[in-house]
Amino acid sequence: MLQKTSSLLLRASTARSYATVSSTVIPPAVANTLSKAKSAAINLAYGAGASSAAGPRDTSIPATLHLKTGQSFTGTSFGSTEGKFGETVFSTSITSYTESMTDPSYSSQLLVFTTPMIGNYGVPKNTQPRGAATGPQMSLESGRIECRGVIVSDLAEKYSHYQARESLHEWCKRHNVPGITGVDTRAITNILRNYGTTLGQIAVGENHATAPAQEAYWDPAKENLIAQASTKHVYTLNDNPHDPHQVKIALLDFGAKANIMRSLVARGASVTVLPWDTPLDSSLMSSFDGLFLSNGPGDPKHGLPAARNVAALMDSQWWCNRPIFGICMGNQILGLAAGMETYRMPYGNRGHNQPVLALASSGVIKKGRMYVTSQNHQYAVKLEEFPQGWEPFFINANDSSVEGIKSTTDSGKKVWGVQFHPESAGGPLDTIAMFDSFLDECKASKMILSGGSGAGGMPAALKRRPRMADASAA
């Protein structure tokens, strides 16, 4: 189809050039027909930007964002006309609003985009991409909009992208998510930076200007958002029972982004997704070559049952120090499992431009290098004296918060956690190869364990320095 579209564009453009040079080359009627063909080809290739059957947005409906700190911002409504309470946060990401809005880590939050215009390339059909039959069943990060509301400076009323199927307004309306446009998002962001993340309400319609009572604001931090976001059933992606060499990964789901599973599946791994509080006993885990801890929303203290399960797994002899990798919430759960403390940051880090400094070398990561990362979190591991066997892996170059932890070489363990998202979606791919390093370690452990190194305890060969940590000696 793209080849046909390109051909139409080329022919229409050529015809227009001839018609401009001399009206006698192509009659006006033919030139007009070709011009219409060119417009049709452009719409086919890039999206017509027309409204769907839902119709255009009613720009006369007012909406107000009320903050618990006392400020209110009034604009016009888009999406759902149902008001919502939530935790008001901001993201500095410039692109990928569809990926951000479907990230389960934004569950319960009213999302303020600092980028002025949002919605200009519409929303794609959220179905499985071609050629990805063994991966997640969606093209975005989950099957629905996860944030409770959206606040933007300028909503694009028309969109243009060859994959777009609906506008941001139509998408939000279909998922019952309210939005506000026409407000000063710079002022809102300054408030959130000065006062910290605050509770808020998007009020729509007749009584939009009436601020709720202080006790009416809903605090999602008091709820176990991990349990709400996690899968309720075990399922497996990309399993190939005919390949004895395939790496099999167990993934604890705290609210996992789909691109984490895609990144593992794309590298040939079989991924079994488990509910967040699944007991990690030998009857289940002995068949896996590694453990992955996903991202997720809310306070990591609600995930203490999972942290205790992970701690028991790391200390068990039968696990044989197989590799463990955690991202975002997974990093915080690893910290709690290791005996570290977590804390709530003033306004968190959300965006695609967070610089982190590597404090140790491991696999593709080189000590002393700066990496630009995608992030979305409100909590972090405390920067204090680390327990024996653990060390900081990354530190944030802006606020000096802990951006990663890892087991030390002497501990014999193979455990890494990062606060950022190597898989991005959206954002930079500076650290995407960490997935390769993790799976390389899983393959190495699998090879050793299947080679008859002993089943009564940790094989002697696994007591050597882990390969991902060997680089720190370089």
Whole-Å CA distances, 61 to 58, 75, 81, 355: 6, 9, 8, 40
**The pLDDT of residue 7:** 43
**Residue 418 covered by a domain:** yes
CATH of the domain at 448: 3.40.50.880
Residue 318: how many other CB atoms lie within 10 Å: 13
| Exposed/middle/buried for residue 154 (C-beta within 10 Å: 0-12, 13-18, 19+) | middle
351: nearest Cα among 421, 414, 297, 298: 421
**Among the three residues 184, 201, 222, which one is the final residue of a domain in this structure?**
222
**Residue 114 covered by a domain:** yes
Q: What are the tens digits of pLDDT across the range 341-393? A: 999 999 999 999 999 999 999 999 999 999 999 999 999 999 999 999 999 99
**Among the three residues 206, 222, 238, which one is the final residue of a domain in this structure?**
222
Intra-chain end-to-end CA distance of the chain, in Å: 51
180: nearest Cα among 71, 63, 66, 87: 63
Q: What are the tens digits of pLDDT across the range 183-215? A: 999 999 999 999 999 999 999 999 999 999 999
Q: CA-to-CA distance for 246 and 249, rounded, in angstroms?
A: 10
- Do residues 259 and 189 share a domain? no
**Residue 424 covered by a domain:** yes
CATH of the domain at 168: 3.50.30.20
Confidence of residue 54 (pLDDT cuts 50, 70, 90): low
Confidence of residue 452 (pLDDT cuts 50, 70, 90): very low
**Residue 32 covered by a domain:** no
Q: Are 310 and 334 in contact (CB under 8 A)?
A: yes
**The pLDDT of residue 128:** 83
- Do residues 177 and 198 share a domain? yes
Q: CA-to-CA distance for 287 and 277, rounded, in angstroms?
A: 18
- What are the residue numbers of the active site? 328, 421, 423
| pTM (2 d.p.) | 0.85
Q: Are 28 and 16 in contact (CB under 8 A)?
A: no
Q: Are 442 and 290 in contact (CB under 8 A)?
A: yes
Counting the structural domains of the chain, the total is 2
Over 60: is that where the pLDDT of 468 sits? Answer: no
Range of the domain at 466: 227-473
Can you name the residues that pair with 85 across neighbouring β-strands? 201
| Exposed/middle/buried for residue 329 (C-beta within 10 Å: 0-12, 13-18, 19+) | buried
What angle separates helix 258-265 from helix 434-449, to the nearest 10 degrees? 50
